[in-house]
Amino acid sequence: MTHIDQVIDVRNPATGESVGTVPVTDPDDVAAAVRELRLYQPEWEAIGPNGRKEWLLKLQDWLIDNTEHLADVLQSETAKPRVDALIDPAFAVDLVGYYARRAAKFLGDDHPSPHSPLARVKALTVTYRPYQVVGVITPWNFPLAMPAIDVFPALAAGAAVILKPSEVTPLSAVELARGWAEIGAPPVFKVVTGAGATGAAVVDNADYVQFTGSTATGRKIAQACADRMVPYSLELGGKDPAIVLADADLDRAAHGIAFGGMFNAGQVCISVERVYVEAPVYDEFVEKLTAAVAALRQGADDRESRNDVGALANENQLRIVERHVNEAVAAGARVTTGGKPTGVGTFFEPTVLVDVDHSMSCVAEETFGPTLPVMKVADEDEAVRLANDSIYGLSASVWTGDRTRGERVARRLNAGAVNINDVFANLFNFAMPMGGWGKSGVGARWGGAAGIRKYCRAQAITAPKLPTMTKELFWFPYDMNKLVVAVAAMRLAGARGLRRVDLAKVWRLKGGK
Ligand code: ADP
């Protein structure tokens, strides 16, 4: 029986208006939901990747047919510009198609080559069997795309999924669950709403936990998973650097970094959060970036697209951004555009800061807002050293007219992804792994087959290739002569130089004189 003691009132951050309510699911009900998922998962696994493909493609149809409604709901709980609100469903459509269609290939058995000629007597098979229930816990910045990003590969793998969306923006996830029910798909996907306690209950019951959110919560989840000995994957905070080299196309760099820093009002884990510019082009770049950011239109859209930058997700986020900017200014930084809340809802002006350094919170801490602190560097080496001076390592960008130089710099950066002359490009390439280094995460999502196999346990199966005898060479009773033959054969197959064929050395293993 479901007992709802509490509800969450979801609000539009631009207006403060209430846009819906969801129940707070208590831990017992989360446990019951997981038990129910366990009943249906075996059948979901049994229909195989091609059976699941049919349901996932039906969901894709539903996402396309309901795009405008989904964008309305998403916009109501985030106050995003209309274009941003339409990106979530478009992204979900692309992703579900990829994993639906490729799952059969990605989940196919592997038959690896044996490591040694001696091992050729066995047929080797690796199979991939899903975890029964995957728990997905998501943040508020992309209320539909963040669930999609992990729920779809897990479902394609054959797991059942319990999703706990952010309590700040749960309505889009509820719509996704409604879509799953509406197409008549097997009941292997459930959404539970609530805050930290509901999320913790998901962690207490799932067989694998996929989390996206803050580093502090990620640490708690890792500890809880360690207690239960269940695997997990975490995508956490970031402080992505952009490096602008003197040979870059400065107009593209300025527009690209303005987009990378201000997209979704900077509330993206892979936002550009700090910029390093080689000295010879620093002044010109700052001028161009300031102009690009100052030209952005900010405000609340309805179904029409009029704005580029929307509101921050909540008051708490507004306070963090304001603190970072105020602390920087108090320590000597200069604002070249923006710099304060607009005074309406949770909007904060798109802001460029100069004369900043690594002692300031706007450079050292994750801001998750529309700010771009810019620093002058002497050369590539200094840019790399400062870019790597962070606890985070999610992604980075390098802007240069020389691709070889760009790749050389990329390989020196401690980040899970580096985009040359672009931002976010890795996020639209599901064939690539997306994972954070350092405190930005553990594990990765996607990466082609890896993105679906991560939700599976690999099983190694061996079978004799040759007719079997009553006993294998190694079985009891022990016999030194047989051991010596085996060791000689192993050395011949795997050692090097004279040791491969030194039979006297093998013979001495028999001991005695
Ligand atoms: P953010 O503030 O960026 O959303 P959080 O890490 O606080 O970052 O939240 C991310 C998600 O984790 C949300 O869905 C939230 O409800 C959930 N959450 C918070 N605390 C816990 C916890 N202890 N265990 C599991 N999930 C949690």
Query: Separation of 288 CA from ligand 1 center, angstroms?
Result: 38
Alpha carbons 447 and 99: distance in angstroms, whole number: 11
User: Which atom of ligand 1 has the smallest separation from the CA of 168?
Assistant: 4
User: Alpha carbon 282 to chain centroid distance?
Assistant: 33
Among 138, 149, 209, 217, which residue has the most ligand 1 atoms within 8 Å of its CB, making it the best to mutate?
217
If asked whether residues 210 and 281 sit together in one domain, one would say no
If asked whether residues 153 and 289 sit together in one domain, one would say no
If asked whether residues 410 and 262 sit together in one domain, one would say yes
Residue with tokens 């998973």: 225
Give pLDDT, residue 4. 55
Alpha carbons 160 and 42: distance in angstroms, whole number: 9
Ligand 1 — pocket residues by CB below 6 A? 137-140, 164, 166-167, 195-196, 199-200, 203, 213-214, 217, 220-221
Give pLDDT, residue 41. 98
Q: Identify whether the C-beta of residue 242 lies closer than 8 Å to the C-beta of residue 274.
A: yes
Which run of H or of E encompasses 209? strand 208-212
If asked whether residues 415 and 345 sit together in one domain, one would say yes
Q: Which residues of 373-409 are buried (b: 16+ CB within 10 A; e: fewer)?
A: bbbbbeebebbbebbeebebbbbbbbbbeeeeebeeb
Q: Is 126 helix (H, G, I), strand (E, B) or coil?
A: strand
Q: Is residue 285 part of a domain?
A: yes
| DSSP string across 3-28 | ----EEEEE-TTT--EEEEEE---HH
Give pLDDT, residue 423. 98
Which residue, by CA, sits nearest to atom 26 of ligand 1? 199
User: Which atom of ligand 1 has the smallest separation from the CA of 217?
Assistant: 6
If asked whether residues 389 and 245 sit together in one domain, one would say yes
CATH code of the domain containing 364: 3.40.309.10
Alpha carbons within 13 angstroms on the beta-carbon side of residue 335 total 19
Which residue, by CA, sits nearest to atom 4 of ligand 1? 139
Q: Which domain holds residue 145?
A: 26-236+449-459
Q: Is residue 432 part of a domain?
A: no
If asked whether residues 325 and 356 sit together in one domain, one would say yes
If asked whether residues 251 and 215 sit together in one domain, one would say no
Which residue, by CA, sits nearest to atom 27 of ligand 1? 196
Mean pLDDT for back-to-back runs of 10 residues, the chain (513 residues): 74 95 98 98 98 98 98 97 97 98 98 93 97 98 98 98 98 98 98 98 98 97 98 97 98 98 97 98 98 97 95 95 98 98 96 98 98 98 98 98 98 98 96 97 97 98 96 92 94 95 94 70
Peptide bond into 477 cis (omega under 30): yes
Alpha carbons within 13 angstroms on the beta-carbon side of residue 364 total 8
If asked whether residues 171 and 60 sit together in one domain, one would say yes
If asked whether residues 293 and 391 sit together in one domain, one would say yes
Domain count, the chain: 3
If asked whether residues 317 and 411 sit together in one domain, one would say yes
If asked whether residues 202 and 249 sit together in one domain, one would say no
Is 269 a catalytic site residue?
yes
pTM of the model: 0.96
Which residue, by CA, sits nearest to atom 17 of ligand 1? 196
Query: Separation of 339 CA from ligand 1 center, angstroms?
Result: 29
Q: Is residue 403 part of a domain?
A: yes
Alpha carbons 417 and 435: distance in angstroms, whole number: 8
User: Which atom of ligand 1 has the smallest separation from the CA of 167?
Assistant: 16
Q: Is residue 171 part of a domain?
A: yes
Query: Separation of 24 CA from ligand 1 center, angstroms?
Result: 14
Query: Separation of 170 CA from ligand 1 center, angstroms?
Result: 12
User: Which atom of ligand 1 has the smallest separation from the CA of 164?
Assistant: 14
Q: Is residue 259 part of a domain?
A: yes
Among 22, 78, 136, 137, which residue has the most ligand 1 atoms within 8 Å of its CB, making it the best to mutate?
137
Q: Is residue 211 part of a domain?
A: yes
Measured in degrees and rounded to the nearest 5, phi and psi for residue 24 equal -90, 110
Q: Is residue 364 part of a domain?
A: yes
Q: Assign residue 123 a region: left if phi > 0, alpha if psi is -120 to 50, beta otherwise?
A: beta
Query: Separation of 239 CA from ligand 1 center, angstroms?
Result: 19
Which residue, by CA, sits nearest to atom 18 of ligand 1? 196
Q: Is residue 504 part of a domain?
A: yes
> Exactly one of 45, 77, 269, 456 is catalytic; which is it?
269
> Exactly one of 235, 273, 278, 365 is catalytic; which is it?
235
CB atoms within 10 A of CB 272: 27
Give pLDDT, residue 511. 87
Which residue, by CA, sits nearest to atom 21 of ligand 1? 196
Query: Separation of 138 CA from ligand 1 center, angstroms?
Result: 7
User: Alpha carbon 303 to chain centroid distance?
Assistant: 29
- From 245, 239, 250, 160, select the one nearest 205 (Cα to Cα): 160
Query: Separation of 218 CA from ligand 1 center, angstroms?
Result: 8
Type of residue found at 222: A
If asked whether residues 332 and 354 sit together in one domain, one would say yes
